[in-house]
Amino acid sequence: MLTSEMTVQRRASAKATMAMRALVANTTLFTGVVGLAILLLLLSSFLLPPFEVLLVLAGIVVVIAILLRTFFIRIYSRAQVSIREVLSRQPEQTEPVLRRRLPSLLENAQLVTVTIRPGTVAVGKQIRELELLTRTGATAVALRRGGETIVSPEPELEFRPDDELLLIGSAAQLDQAKELLASEPATA
């Protein structure tokens, strides 16, 4: 098509131009197919049987095609009818399925920031020593110390006065964690 567009110049008659373009396009297509067939035959000549056997096989294929012509036509017409039916079928009107909103994995979780006050049990202790998670169920998400924020603090992190600790958990877990972090150290 591109070759025919480039080679055929516009003339006064649109019909003549279209006919000429169709002729050039079909000639180019036919020449290409014949050229590819010759190239394929030359390249596969070592694999093909001798010329006489190849002619006999080609003859058998032609005879079978002629004998089964009506069978092939029937299959072709059935395929055409099926395709037309599928393409002409109106889309079914279905009501949109209401999707239930999936519950969030954190629907009962809350976040709270707790400031570590001087003189509380948490000062100078590691998260591991306080057993924050095992005692309360709340998890330390982040810690702000001065201008620095530590995301997901390690269990070895030692609390200092005025640290801000971000905790996640249920309301009951967070209340227990606040009590633990605000409690006074036991005196001996």
pLDDT digits (tens, 9 = 90+) for 126-135: 988 988 889 9
- This prediction has a pTM of 0.44
Least confident range from 10-19, 163-172, 176-185: namely 10-19
pLDDT beyond 80 at 59: yes
Separation CA 35–CA 13 (nearest Å): 33
pLDDT beyond 80 at 141: yes
pLDDT beyond 70 at 13: no
Angle between helices 51-67 and 69-88 (to 10 degrees): 60
What does the pLDDT look like over 37-56, one tens digit per residue?
A: 888 878 877 777 777 777 88
Beta-carbon count within 10 A of 63 CB: 10
Separation CA 157–CA 119 (nearest Å): 18
Assigned CATH for 110-182: 3.30.70.1450
